[in-house]
């Protein structure tokens, strides 16, 4: 009942049957899922989608599974929040937040990709799932894998936020902390993936896993009333999410769900790890790897697997990229909380701070509809705010003490 035609190399176009593989044997290009869009166009329309359950599985014809969804049944369909308070401060007409800080069981957009990856791992007959993670993927694979009954191996940089390590450990996976950064962890995992028959969600089943990111784009279009935004701002780690947001819009056009598509796609990164933003700003196609040094650990991939493709999408759509300092990230986290009541993790701070700069420089015009992707919950990275959020008052338990404080507040 699936609509997959096979896997296709993004570089040379060579086709492969559906298997847990991810690179082209001939040119080493990455493999991508290819669909039968003619059949999908017949099977899927706005009305049908609207009648379905409010989860990411409402777009199932455009997801790479053959049978029924098996993992993450409640993931997806997060709110699209009209951010009028924030829009006023940033000086834009119409601003929306795609709010992936809520709804998902592990409070980040990674539940989207993991729902697909683990359903696919089950279809392939794996009993062990694994991942190399900057934190959120570890959390999500640990949780969904527990519920689905998989053996789990989770590899993380040892320097990850304590709160994210604990959030993964509570589900009792095999958690391996590795001395080194994400790129070291990923290299190690590629070796392990060659040797053991495990489903590494972001390695050997990456082509399927990555497709889950499209659901954030499908939802944005549906929630805007079946329209694409004029601008969309996406945080980048490997760059995969950004490419898939664009792919989701193109697929909706391909199957006739929308007609017009003139969205500019913008990339957001932390200055301490900005290989994609740097390439875009310098106008080069070469993504130069960096050693990450930023509080936005969930985005800290120095050698991004999809960096080239992400920079091409930015270029092709007339978007741009921006990078922001740790202080700008913290300021933006607080701005989002104070204006819209949304507590985002550091990656969300990156997206908002970058958006602010893109508006100020005129890259994002003040007219038109802008959507920013806020991809993870702030409770996951509270360490980032240590020293930046302290109780404003500390008193003895007496009315007099409180009223002294109150007077000070009113004096301003």
Ligand X SMILES: *Cc1c(COP(=O)(O)O)cnc(C)c1O
Contact residues toward ligand X (CB under 6 A) are 108-110, 136, 213, 235-241, 298-299, 345, 347, 375-376
Q: Which is nearer to ligand X, 136 or 355 (CB)?
A: 136
Q: Supply 202's token pair.
A: 């972001």
Q: Which is nearer to ligand X, 83 or 374 (CB)?
A: 374
In what helix (H) or strand (E) does residue 316 lie, and over which residues does it extend? helix 307-317
CA 140 to each of CA 8, 120, 152, 211, 399: distance values in angstroms, whole numbers, following the listed order: 28, 15, 11, 16, 46
CB of 318 to ligand X, least distance (A): 20
Burial of 403 (0-12, 13-18, 19+ CB in 10 A): exposed
Question: How many CB atoms are located within 10 Å of the residue 158 CB?
Answer: 12
Q: Which is nearer to ligand X, 123 or 345 (CB)?
A: 345
Residue whose structure tokens are 């404003």? 392
Q: Within 13 Å of residue 194, how many CA atoms lie on the same side as its CB? A: 6
Q: Which is nearer to ligand X, 3 or 271 (CB)?
A: 271
Instruction: Answer yes or no: are the C-beta atoms of 372 and 340 closer than 8 Å.
Output: no
CB of 121 to ligand X, least distance (A): 19
CA 275 to each of CA 172, 231, 238, 321, 323: distance values in angstroms, whole numbers, following the listed order: 34, 22, 10, 11, 10
CB of 331 to ligand X, least distance (A): 18
Between CA 333 and CA 337 the distance in angstroms is: 6
Between CA 75 and CA 93 the distance in angstroms is: 31
CB of 238 to ligand X, least distance (A): 3
CB of 166 to ligand X, least distance (A): 17
Identify the bridge partners of residue 7 per DSSP, sorted by sequence position.
16, 33
CB of 47 to ligand X, least distance (A): 31
Q: Which is nearer to ligand X, 3 or 155 (CB)?
A: 155
Q: Which is nearer to ligand X, 108 or 274 (CB)?
A: 108
Q: Which is nearer to ligand X, 181 or 213 (CB)?
A: 213
CB of 398 to ligand X, least distance (A): 44
Identify the bridge partners of residue 369 per DSSP, sorted by sequence position.
94
Instruction: Answer yes or no: are the C-beta atoms of 16 and 31 closer than 8 Å.
Output: yes
């Amino acid at each position: 009942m699936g609509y997959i035609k096979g896997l296709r190399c993004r570089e040379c176009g060579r086709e492969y049957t559906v298997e847990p593989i991810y690179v082209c044997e001939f040119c080493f290009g990455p493999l991508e899922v290819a669909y039968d869009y003619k059949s999908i166009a017949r099977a899927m329309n706005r009305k049908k989608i609207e009648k379905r359950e409010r989860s990411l599985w409402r777009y199932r014809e455009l997801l790479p599974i053959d049978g029924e969804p098996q993992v993450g049944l409640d993931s997806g369909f997060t709110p699209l929040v009209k951010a009028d308070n924030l829009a006023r401060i940033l000086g834009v007409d119409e601003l929306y937040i795609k709010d992936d800080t809520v709804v998902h069981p592990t409070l980040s957009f990674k539940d989207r990709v993991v729902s697909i990856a683990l359903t696919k791992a089950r279809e392939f007959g794996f009993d062990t799932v694994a991942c190399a993670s900057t934190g959120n993927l570890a959390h999500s694979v640990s949780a969904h894998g527990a519920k689905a009954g998989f053996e789990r191996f989770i590899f993380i940089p040892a320097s990850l936020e304590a709160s994210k390590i604990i959030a993964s450990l509570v589900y009792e996976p095999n958690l391996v902390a590795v001395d080194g950064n994400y790129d070291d962890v990923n290299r190690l995992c590629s070796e392990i993936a060659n040797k053991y028959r495990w489903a590494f969600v972001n390695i050997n089943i990456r082509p399927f896993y990555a497709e889950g990111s499209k659901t954030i784009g499908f939802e944005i279009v549906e929630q805007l009333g079946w329209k694409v935004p004029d601008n969309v701002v996406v945080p980048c780690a490997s760059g995969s999410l950004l490419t898939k947001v664009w792919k989701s819009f193109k697929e909706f056009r391909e199957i006739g769900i929308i007609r017009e598509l003139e969205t500019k796609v913008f990339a957001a990164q932390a200055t301490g790890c900005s290989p994609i933003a740097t390439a875009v700003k310098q106008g080069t196609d070469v993504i130069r790897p960096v050693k990450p040094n930023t509080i936005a650990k969930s985005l800290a991939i120095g050698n991004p697997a999809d960096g080239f493709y992400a920079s091409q999408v930015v270029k092709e759509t007339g978007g741009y990229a921006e990078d922001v300092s740790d202080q700008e990230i913290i300021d933006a986290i607080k701005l989002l909380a104070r204006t819209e009541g949304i507590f985002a993790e550091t990656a969300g701070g990156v997206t908002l701070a970058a958006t602010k700069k893109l508006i100020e420089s005129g890259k994002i015009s003040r007219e038109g509809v802008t959507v920013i992707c806020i991809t993870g919950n702030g409770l996951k990275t509270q360490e980032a705010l240590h020293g930046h959020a302290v109780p404003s008052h500390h008193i003895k338990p007496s009315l007099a003490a409180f009223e002294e404080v109150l007077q000070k507040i009113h004096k301003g």
